[in-house]
Amino acid sequence: MEINVYKRTIGVNFNKDHLARIELWAPFAKEVEVSFDNKTFALNKADRGYWELTTAKLKPGMRYGFAIDGKAPLPDPASLFQPDSVHGQSAATPLHNFKWTDQSWRNPDLGNYIIYELHTGTFTPEGNFTAIEEKLDYLVELGVIAIEIMPVAQFAGERNWGYDGVFPFAVQNSYGGPDGLQKLVDACHAKGLAVILDVVYNHMGPEGNYLGQYGPYFTEKYNTPWGGAINFDDAWCDGVRKYFIENVLMWFRDFHIDALRMDAVHAIKDFSPKHILQEMKEYVEQLKQVTGREHYLIIECDLNDTRYIKTTAEGGFGMDAQWTDEFHHALRVAAGQKRDGYYADFNGLEDMAKAYADAYVYDGQYSEERHKTFGVKATGLDGKQFVVFSQNHDHIGNRMLGERTSTLLSFEMQKLLVAAVMVSPYLPLLFMGEEYGEPNPFQYFVSHTDPELVEAVRKGRREEFKNFQSEGEAPDPQAIDTFERSKLQWELLKEQHHQVLFSYYKALIHLRKTHAVLKTTTRDTLQTTLKAEQHVLIVKRWTAEQEVVCLLNFSEQRQSVDVSGNWTKIFDSASTQWGGPADAPQVVNSNSITLQPQSATIYAQ
């Protein structure tokens, strides 16, 4: 399988002579035609199921479609733009016309990333890329290093979480299309912000999914929560593998994306001798030699299997980092979250202590929830290979009512949770709005056009919460109110309560970025001490020159703990400066210190 890392080869692409080069994979077709401008042109059959044509007649901006064996034309499976949504024709789109200004941009070291996850449709009232641009100065002021944009692959309608995309190469038309995304990335780089794009390679959405009409993109060998799995290892899989590898390369090469976050890779079924993720990594390494830029692959994976993030030289797949849900689950239980659903396997602070030290909570123990021994040790892996958070789109949106931390927990506990994230040796991630205590929920929403599908989605959401957070009624995912309710309320930043929390986040992020101990991602210079009866966790971290102690009081009462040595306070979540009840002592000399309820106090030696 030959893939050209220098340029995209599938779909419609324009060369330097302004000719349209068309390549379509349809291995079972007897004839293929491309239709545009009320004319049809036959494609020529090539090797291994590909069909080709080079023409000067197809111009940028023209609508086109492919007819297989005389059937009605369909959109291009590798379409770059669907101006009329998923059921309309594709628009011929040259990617190389954008005038980039980021020639001097350098992707920061992954270990320096502080990530801000956002959803384009709900981050601003306008819900598009241009409106995000207008908020970049705000994000720079907050201090984050990278923004992570939830999926933008074309979906049905104008509102969707993003995980129902059906055209992996096409940027959502209602967000601004490919030109809008290129412009946003260029603007981010001008402001010093890296861009992570969330992509979905484990399934396709239900509406507008025409891939199966072109070829064996799916296989019945495996089952997934979304039906047949994407065909990465069955007959004819080479064409499918090329399709998704080309997608990875396109985002890095043609959109200057700095990192991809790959959704739920545990649902990618591939028993090939070389896993598709490893092959993607190898092509990305080739691309880096061409671009001279760094590109990262970050995965969501719930298998606690280090093969995913070990180097290929070590027999791994070579992914650069993974989301670590277990840190979140332990943290939420420590904060008082009810132990049901996927929280049932976690006991709070004891597991928090393990997550700080070992990255995985389950690394070879028996899991009561899974009814099996689960996970392996993460020995020898750096902290920058794990992304942690106190909330994200999943763990808000997967609640039946989509409640955020700001409406579930006290103001003091909100400050404690983010402090617990920031003092870890892992990469911290924030979810949009948490930095000022956004009270609006983030609920699951869609805008499908098929009434039967809409009803099936409604039924699925009701079934999902039968045994988990079942009080109340699940919001209607199709209702526009569900979407509108999920938008950020920027006007709240004018109110003192929200201003205080925003200032707190800024100060905490600045401390994480600038303090020699806290900014390191080394995992072997960390020690935890659990005060179970007091519901207090002490986290010590150090370098050769300095030591830091983080005192995390998850209880609702003041707690006294002994601290040996001479310490100077560098951060205090309970300070009156941050709307807290009282300031901790500035200096501690080998004596006990009283911690305020639900507080994080950090001292340096």
Q: Are 566 and 511 in contact (CB under 8 A)?
A: no
* 355-370: b (≥16 Cβ within 10 Å) or e: bbebbbbbbeeeeeee
Query: How far is residue 605's CA from residue 99's CA, in Å, rounded to a whole number?
Result: 50
Q: Which of 233, 263, 345, 412 is catalytic?
A: 263
d(CA 133, CA 142): 15
Q: Is 300 a catalytic site residue?
A: yes
For the chain, what percentages of helix, strand and coil (3-state, to nearest 5) are there? 30, 25, 45
Residues 347 and 359 sit within 8 Å (Cβ to Cβ): no
Q: Is 141 part of the annotated catalytic residue set?
A: no
Geometric angle at alpha carbon 287, from 281 and 291, rounded to 5°: 140
Known binding-site positions for substrate: 261-266, 325-329, 393-398
Q: Residues 6 or more apart from 160 whose CB is under 8 A from it?
A: 121, 205, 445, 446, 447
Decide: helix, strand or coil at residue 39: strand
Q: Which of 76, 148, 300, 320 is catalytic?
A: 300
Q: How far apart are CA 104 and CA 512, in angstroms?
A: 26
Evaluate the CA torsion angle 440, 441, 444, 449 in order and state its sign.
negative
592 φ, ψ to 5°? -80, 155
Q: For residues 268 and 317, what is the distance between their CA atoms, to the nearest angstrom?
A: 13
| Strand ranges inside 17-69, DSSP E | 20-25, 32-36, 39-42, 44-45, 50-55, 63-68
Indicate which residues carry an active-site annotation.
263, 300
